[in-house]
């Protein structure tokens, strides 16, 4: 019945790039060889056809069909010598359209193509449970209404019957995919009835909800731009990036503003849905979308298919096939990694999941059956639910037990190659779990503040990065509780009378080719041998001990950095190549010509000043350098040049990181240009010139043979360092995507982001966290063993100089 009814028909499908839509396309191409498809997709920059080729037909759902065409195209349903690609060109058309916009952005040619279709399957949806309210409204509420309007318009312009005989003026059959959860957070029976017919549906005006959602977006955007909000967001950006420079802080501030608006809109959707008895904005907007469709459909015949929570395939296109993470996968993955110690839910309640291939079969059976009509031949919207709870219930406690037993036998391994023991949940309420996560988050906030106050870097800074990572995990866990907790506590039982009526009408051949009876699923087998093995591959969980995943990844990144085709290697100096800074080099030079009592006073005063200097440096690196270099006022140029040459061996080499120096030389050996960009003074870096092709450093102006303590230009830090790099690359015709940058501080973020291969060396806490999040190469370079570790380097006393002669820092003595 199904194959015969759909053969020769042209079927339009929205949402084909999604999980369910891709499965529908695959099943029709494989199981109904004589049908043609029109895939309505957002065209994007490359056009609709490119999206179909790249985002749909390349998916692994089509692997078995491709193999069948390669083996025997005729047996696969194709023509002689036809390839899979040939078949797709013959049977699949791409149409650019967007259900989130008025008129779906369809031009006359698009409507003409759509008018040749006999059936329209509308599966496009904003499926995220935390969608912004207005986004969910545009797609889930107004999307079905817009598709029905397009179907009416197509009927009006059709001048000839379709290939399958649909007459001019007669609209195509619209099969709209909704969700069982339009029933809301009810307990007990949820029959297959229109939402208006439910006694639990709160009568609201869907048009007013559309207007309110759009106004909520305008208010959120306006509120995000108040001076108080922008100041708070800028402070948050600075806390996250440190002294990364004005442009980086500004860019981060705008990202945070947009994120704030998104959170506000998500919260608006959640609160509005909850006020009307729905678990989230997805279910709420789907319910109103059904109502809007039925109210405005006109003469378009409409059938609604409501699946419950769609999960991986039972058998087709292959056991365990899934596209992306659905509802259960993030929670299961977090549980397997030991991140969810508790999760809310009613253990004896039903967690209503259904394999995607059963949903696809139901949709195609409804499409093949056609619209339902009464005795007078008048069609009426009908509802078919496909769920497991009423006929083959999977209790939440049973599911948790199956997952726990599987991960006990097949544990995930941590970074230290130790198996992670999964917890045993006690099924508390959502409020209790949220409070537990909140207390843990508060403790981490306190610890983070303590660490931020410490000048940590390198391996010590990794503690701060790990702390931030743990905070992210807690936020993720709390998000899961907020998003999915309502579904694990749901006690609705979705009735399947219409689905079983349809199932009973099928012959044995249809039942074999289009299985949709939930009773066919044996849950222990499905969870243990189909779903979880597929899920761990999707999640890329580490399922075997002894894997050197982290070290091999580090090695791969290092190999990429040192590939011969790289063009440039740019280095910071302080704490990247040497364990020193401008204060250390200044101290060495300043004490070079001081006697012992003056040295002691200098050291004492400098150490007392270090907290102030650290605060200035964290606030703005450029301002700090200008402030600090004032101390060189009246210093003789020739004397400092001679002292700097001696400082090379006494300070810079002893404080250097041998691995860093070797890395510079290795880049040069590979033919890469090497560039040093540093805020240190040129008089300090001059002895290092043999190591680099070029050096860009801070310079002070000179008057009558002495420095005046004023910089000749903006010091090369933060965004100025980035601009220096960009200008250098332009001058030397270098592609920065083939460049490598080494630095230690978040103030170097603009430079690191500018290159294709950033490397964080002995990073301070903020950069360590950023590097871990972005999967950058992190190097820990140490000084040579036995190297001096003085807090404040003191230059050796110069011989032949008057004991009381002072070259630098007269004011501090």
Query: pLDDT for 50-106, tens place per residue?
Result: 999 999 999 999 999 999 999 999 999 999 999 999 999 999 999 999 999 999 999
Query: pLDDT for 287-319, tens place per residue?
Result: 999 999 999 999 999 999 999 999 999 999 999
Q: What is the mean pLDDT of residues 123-150?
A: 93
SS3 701: strand
Which pLDDT does position 653 carry in this prediction? 83
Q: Give yes or no for residue 809 having a pLDDT over 50.
A: no
Q: What's the farthest any 2 CA atoms get from each other in the chain?
A: 118
Which pLDDT does position 472 carry in this prediction? 66
Distance CA 378, CA 369 (A): 15
Query: pLDDT for 251-296, tens place per residue?
Result: 889 999 999 999 999 999 999 998 998 988 999 999 999 999 999 9
Candidates 222, 198, 217, 231; CA nearest to 267 is 217
Which pLDDT does position 328 carry in this prediction? 72
Which pLDDT does position 341 carry in this prediction? 75
Q: Give yes or no for residue 127 having a pLDDT over 90.
A: no
Lowest model confidence (mean pLDDT) among 85-99, 343-357, 508-522, 658-672: 343-357
Distance CA 727, CA 421 (A): 53
Q: Is the pTM of this model over 0.85?
A: no
**Tokens 């789907």 sit on residue:** 286
Q: Give yes or no for residue 800 having a pLDDT over 60.
A: no
Q: What does residue 21 show for φ and ψ, rounded to 5 degrees?
A: -60, -40
Which pLDDT does position 198 carry in this prediction? 75
Spell out the residues 6+ positions from residue 416 whose beta carbon is closer than 8 angstroms to its own.
none
Q: Are 651 and 793 in contact (CB under 8 A)?
A: yes
- Chain-centre distance for alpha carbon 563: 29
Candidates 372, 210, 371, 217; CA nearest to 292 is 210
Q: pLDDT category, 446, cuts 50, 70, 90?
A: low
Q: pLDDT category, 351, cuts 50, 70, 90?
A: confident
Q: What is the mean pLDDT of residues 770-793?
A: 79
Radius of gyration of the chain (CA): 33
Task: Give ∠ CA 13-14-18 in degrees, rounded to 5.
Answer: 110
Query: pLDDT for 27-52, tens place per residue?
Result: 999 999 999 999 999 988 889 999 99
Which pLDDT does position 19 carry in this prediction? 94
State the pairing for strand pair 491-494/382-386.
unpaired
Which pLDDT does position 327 carry in this prediction? 64
Q: What is the mean pLDDT of residues 432-444?
A: 64
- Chain-centre distance for alpha carbon 15: 21
Which pLDDT does position 801 carry in this prediction? 43
Counting every residue, how long is the chain? 813
Number of Cβ within 10 Å of residue 701's Cβ equals 11
Query: pLDDT averaged over the chain?
Result: 87
Q: Are 154 and 114 in contact (CB under 8 A)?
A: yes
**Tokens 């209404």 sit on residue:** 145
**Tokens 């289009």 sit on residue:** 514
Query: pLDDT for 460-488, tens place per residue?
Result: 556 656 666 666 666 666 666 666 666 77
Q: pLDDT category, 553, cuts 50, 70, 90?
A: confident
Phi-psi bin for 773: left (phi > 0), alpha (psi -120 to 50), beta?
A: alpha
Query: pLDDT for 309-347, tens place per residue?
Result: 999 999 999 999 998 776 677 778 888 887 777 777 778
Distance CA 96, CA 260 (A): 32
Which pLDDT does position 414 carry in this prediction? 83
Q: Are 5 and 112 in contact (CB under 8 A)?
A: no
Lowest model confidence (mean pLDDT) among 22-26, 600-604, 665-669: 600-604
Lowest model confidence (mean pLDDT) among 230-239, 400-409, 550-559, 737-746: 550-559
Candidates 185, 208, 182, 359; CA nearest to 286 is 182
Which pLDDT does position 326 carry in this prediction? 64
- DSSP one-letter string for 643-699: HHHHHIIIIIHHHB-HHHHHHHHHHHHTT-EEEEEEEEEHHHHGGGGGG-SEEEEE-
Distance CA 66, CA 64 (A): 5
Q: Residue 722 pairs with which residues in a beta bridge?
A: none
Which pLDDT does position 168 carry in this prediction? 93
Q: pLDDT category, 131, cuts 50, 70, 90?
A: confident
Task: Give ∠ CA 37-43-47 in degrees, rounded to 5.
Answer: 95
Query: pLDDT for 221-252, tens place per residue?
Result: 999 999 999 999 999 888 877 777 778 889 88
Candidates 593, 602, 510, 568; CA nearest to 740 is 568
Give the Å distances, CA to CA, from 429 to 479, 486, 810. 15, 10, 69
- DSSP one-letter string for 7-29: TT-EEEEE-TTSHHHHHHHHHHH
- Chain-centre distance for alpha carbon 377: 51
Distance CA 326, CA 347 (A): 21
Q: pLDDT category, 455, cuts 50, 70, 90?
A: low
When comparing pLDDT for 341 and 516, which is higher?
516
Tokens of 412: 């995930």
For the chain, list the domains and their CATH numbers.
217-267 (no CATH), 557-785 (3.40.50.1000)
DSSP state of 783: P
């Amino acid at each position: 019945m199904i194959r015969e009814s759909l053969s020769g028909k042209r079927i339009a499908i929205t949402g084909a790039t999604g999980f369910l839509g891709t499965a529908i396309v695959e099943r029709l191409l494989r199981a109904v060889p004589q049908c043609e498809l029109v895939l309505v997709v957002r065209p994007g920059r490359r056009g609709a056809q490119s999206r179909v080729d790249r985002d749909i037909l390349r998916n692994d759902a089509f692997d078995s069909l491709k193999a069948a065409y390669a083996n025997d195209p005729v047996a696969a349903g194709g023509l002689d010598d036809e390839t899979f690609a040939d078949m797709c060109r013959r049977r699949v058309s791409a149409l650019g359209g967007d259900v989130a916009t008025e008129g779906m952005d369809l031009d006359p040619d698009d409507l003409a193509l759509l008018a040749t279709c006999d059936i329209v399957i509308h599966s496009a949806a904003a499926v995220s449970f935390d969608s912004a309210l207005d986004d969910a409204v545009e797609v889930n509420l107004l999307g079905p209404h817009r598709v029905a309007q397009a179907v009416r318009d197509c009927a009006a312009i059709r001048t000839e019957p379709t290939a399958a005989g649909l007459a001019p003026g007669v609209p195509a059959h619209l099969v709209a995919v909704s969700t069982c959860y339009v029933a809301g957070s009810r307990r007990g029976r949820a029959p297959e009835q229109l939402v208006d017919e439910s006694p639990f549906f709160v009568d609201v005006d869907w048009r007013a909800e559309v207007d309110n959602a759009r106004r909520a977006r305008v208010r959120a955007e306006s509120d995000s731009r108040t001076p108080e909000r922008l100041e708070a967001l800028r402070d948050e950006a600075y806390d996250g990036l440190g002294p990364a420079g004005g442009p980086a802080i500004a860019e981060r501030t705008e990202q945070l503003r947009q994120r704030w608006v998104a959170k506000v809109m998500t919260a608006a959707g959640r609160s509005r849905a909850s006020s009307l008895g729905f678990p989230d904005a997805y279910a709420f907007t789907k319910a109103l979308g059904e109502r809007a469709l039925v109210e405005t459909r006109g003469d378009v015949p409409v059938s609604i298919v409501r699946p419950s929570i769609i999960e991986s395939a039972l058998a087709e296109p292959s056991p365990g096939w899934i596209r992306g993470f659905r509802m259960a996968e993030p929670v299961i993955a977090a549980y397997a990694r030991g991140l969810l110690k508790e999760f809310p839910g009613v253990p004896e309640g039903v967690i209503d999941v259904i394999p995607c291939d059963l949903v696809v079969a139901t949709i195609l059976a409804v499409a093949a059956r056609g619209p339902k009509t009464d005795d007078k031949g008048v069609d009426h919207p009908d509802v078919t639910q496909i769920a497991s709870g009423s006929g083959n219930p999977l209790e939440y406690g049973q599911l948790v037990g199956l997952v726990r037993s599987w991960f006990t036998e097949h544990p995930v391994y941590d970074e230290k190659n130790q198996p992670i023991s999964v917890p045993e949940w006690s099924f508390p309420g959502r409020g209790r779990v949220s409070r537990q996560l909140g207390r843990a988050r508060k403790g981490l906030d306190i610890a983070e503040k303590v660490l931020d106050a410490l000048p940590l870097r390198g391996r010590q800074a990794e503690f701060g990065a790990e702390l931030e990572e743990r905070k992210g995990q807690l936020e993720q866990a709390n998000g899961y509780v907020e998003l999915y907790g309502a579904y694990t506590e749901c006690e609705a039982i979705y009735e399947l009378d219409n689905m079983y009526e349809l199932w009973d009408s099928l012959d044995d051949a249809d039942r074999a080719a289009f299985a949709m009876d939930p009773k066919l699923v044996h849950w222990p087998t499905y969870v243990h041998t189909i779903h979880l093995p597929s899920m761990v591959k999707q999640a890329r969980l580490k399922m075997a001990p002894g894997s050197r995943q982290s070290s091999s990844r580090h090695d791969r990144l290092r190999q990429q950095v040192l590939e011969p085709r790289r063009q440039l290697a740019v280095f910071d100096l302080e704490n990247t190549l040497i364990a020193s800074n401008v204060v250390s080099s200044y101290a060495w030079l300043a004490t070079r010509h001081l006697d012992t009592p003056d040295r002691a006073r200098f050291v004492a005063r400098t150490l007392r000043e270090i907290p102030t200097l650290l605060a200035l440096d964290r606030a703005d690196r450029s301002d700090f350098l200008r402030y600090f270099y004032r101390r060189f006022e009246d210093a003789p140029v020739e004397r400092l040049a001679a002292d700097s040459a001696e400082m090379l061996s006494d300070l810079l080499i002893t404080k250097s990181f041998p691995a860093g120096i070797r890395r510079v030389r290795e880049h040069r050996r590979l033919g890469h240009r090497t560039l040093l960009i540093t805020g240190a003074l040129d008089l300090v870096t001059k002895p290092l010139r043999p190591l680099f092709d070029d050096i860009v450093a801070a310079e002070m102006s000179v008057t009558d043979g002495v420095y005046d303590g004023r910089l000749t230009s903006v010091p090369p830090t933060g965004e100025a360092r980035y601009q220096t790099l960009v200008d250098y690359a332009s001058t030397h015709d270098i592609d920065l995507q083939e460049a490598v940058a080494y630095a230690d501080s978040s103030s170097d973020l603009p430079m690191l982001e500018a290159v294709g291969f950033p490397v964080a060396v002995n990073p301070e806490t903020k950069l360590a966290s950023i590097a871990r999040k972005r999967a950058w190469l992190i190097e820990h370079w140490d000084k040579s063993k036995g190297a001096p570790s003085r807090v404040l380097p003191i230059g050796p006393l110069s011989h032949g100089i008057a004991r009381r002669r002072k070259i630098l820092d007269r004011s501090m003595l």
